[in-house]
Structure 1
């Protein structure tokens, strides 16, 4: 904390004026959607991977408070996401270890679905990794805003990310994406840079997803 340039802002936005904020944008996912379809690959896996890869390049999104109360930063954080059970529409939360290689991450994702995807319990995969962040999708609704409401004090300051239903406009596929973050660790600039980099990733799947 003593050498962190953001220390005064962290104090202000956690003690004097506790604040978080949400931004929702429409991302063009046409290129990635078509690239995956041509290879019979799952979009959700690529979505989890691309967001995690951009987060790995965004230090402001990987800050947490350890057991002693000191702030630390993970090198990477892993996606924790929900899967829905088709028969009763209940959900379970899984997490998949991030790997910088998409092919390896994709195999990790498929292995987690195969082993835990049919278990009817909130968190079938244990132990839950400390460095996981919440990411999901509501593929039935194209929303303009989504805001999660935490009911407990935060020990981590990771983003919460939610995608919505694709909509086609002028032959381009748009996907709403919401990002919620604590103002103590990030400002609008950091979130805007994140969205810009993520759009770049969705525009160039051949560079971001190909081995």
Structure 2
């Protein structure tokens, strides 16, 4: 069985993804990926907490970044993700349209930055997808420069009136969420992914040669 009550592994899940699909639909999506995750219903959303490393080969072994960068099916959207990666606070936004993933990237002592090639999301879009919260308070939080990334994200989640704010700072409570299940990627999906990556690397090497 690839879906089971979440075991207490002692490892804190890294990041929070909130989607509008049902727990069974989101669990099926996780099984088609490469990152194990806890899935739980939370106040009208379905929450996904990546459980550490990806099952894929490098350079896709970082479960947090793989999940943050993974497009969601339209039927599961819209979605908001909150991630701490390399000391940065990252927010991802996906709607049911075809705009792809939009990003908010925040760095300590610098605030919001604009990495090349990443479409940006603004406070208006975040508030619209969240369905609530104070825009002025959100802007004020995102202008902070001297705060821990996880606490900044917790404040953003709270001001947007979304569930899971406290879990951004202390994820030990994930095991106790009502209805939480641990979902593992299907081995064949991991195999397909690794094969596709190897093929892409081989093709690039041949083109460079």
TM-score after normalising by structure 1: 0.30
Q: Which has the higher contact order (CA 8 A, sep 6+)?
A: 1
